[in-house]
Amino acid sequence: MVSKFTDADEIAKFSSLYMDWWKNDGAFGALHKLTPARMLFIRQALSNFVNRDTEYSQTFAGLRILDVGCGGGLLAEPLKRLGADVTGLDASAEAIKAAKDHASVMGLDIDYRIGDLSILPDDSDQFDVVIASEVIEHISDSQSFIEVTHKLINPGGKLIITTLNRSLLSLLGAKIFAEYILKIVPAGTHDWRKFITPSELNSMLIKAGFTPEVTRGISYSLKEDEFQLAANPVVNYAVSALKS
């Protein structure tokens, strides 16, 4: 499905790699490494929702979370394991099949849907949290995308975005180094011109009616071979924003 939120070439690119979604050493290996840092940021950003009386394993019990551009379910599954009611949405039918197949093997009940935000009703609030992780740099109209997520979030709910900064270091690190030297990301995965700076993203969020809360960098440690939350958002970064 193609709309102003999706690009046919982007969908085809990720659909062709669907067999690799759950391979740690496959095309999405970098996303597997990124997931612990993403989950740490999500836990921190949603700390106000946490029921202190629940067990750790049910941290997000009662929360309705929409994972936009969920791919094969790398974030949807840990969110579900923490007790959330998770809906995963992706425009690639192949990615959704991979997500459904893996969730079935894991015994996880996740509501996976094929499509983009245009298939969801935008006239009523539905979710406590919308997560768009490594998505916004691949879509056609970032501002409209954020405005539609605003309509889907309950008052007091949050939007969480992780993406790539349009900086010289991201061009060198996330594009040239990651795709062509280390080859931890398939060549052609990213278009550096579509990267969004933190200031640009905050402006979009404010225009859409959100209040930006926290911005954290996500840095890759070559020595540790892992991603870590950092102060500087120079390459990868994460943002949380509140719908008041």
List, in order of start, the domains of the chain with CATH numbers.
Answer: 8-243 (3.40.50.150)
- 89 pLDDT more than 60: yes
Q: How far apart are CA 93 and CA 37, in angstroms?
A: 27
User: Which whole number is the average pLDDT over 114-122?
Assistant: 86
**Mean pLDDT calculated for residue range 58-72:** 93
**Mean per-residue pLDDT of the chain:** 87
Percent of the chain with pLDDT over 70: 80
pLDDT at 26: 82
The C-alpha atoms of residue 116 and residue 216 are separated, in whole angstroms, by 26
pLDDT tops 70 at residue 184: no
Please, which residues have CB within 8 angstroms of residue 142's CB and are 6 or more apart in sequence?
136, 196, 204
pLDDT tier for residue 193 given thresholds of 50, 70 and 90? confident
pLDDT at 68: 97
Question: Is the predicted pLDDT of residue 200 greater than 90, yes or no?
Answer: yes
pLDDT tens readout for residues 202-236: 999 999 999 999 999 999 888 898 999 999 999 89
Q: Which of 32-46, 51-65, 68-82, 139-153 has the lowest mean pLDDT?
A: 51-65
Supply the pLDDT for residue 106. 97
CA distances from 234 to 22, 43, 176 (A): 28, 22, 15
Q: Are 152 and 126 in contact (CB under 8 A)?
A: yes
- pLDDT above 90: residue 57: no
Q: Of the ranges 29-33, 75-79, 80-84, which one carries the lowest mean pLDDT score?
A: 29-33
Q: How far apart are CA 58 and CA 96, in angstroms?
A: 25
Residue 16 has pLDDT above 70, yes or no: no
Distance CA 149, CA 235 (A): 24
Split at pLDDT 50, 70, 90, the class of 2 is very low
Neighbours of 164 (CB within 10 A): 24
Give me the residue label for tokens 């921190």.
Answer: 44
pLDDT digits (tens, 9 = 90+) for 90-100: 999 999 999 99
How does pLDDT run across 124-179, given as a tens digit for each residue?
A: 669 999 999 999 998 889 999 999 999 999 999 999 999 999 987 776 666 565 55
Confidence of residue 35 (pLDDT cuts 50, 70, 90): very high
Which is more confidently placed, 47 or 131? Answer: 131
Question: Sign of torsion, CA 165 138 112 119?
Answer: positive
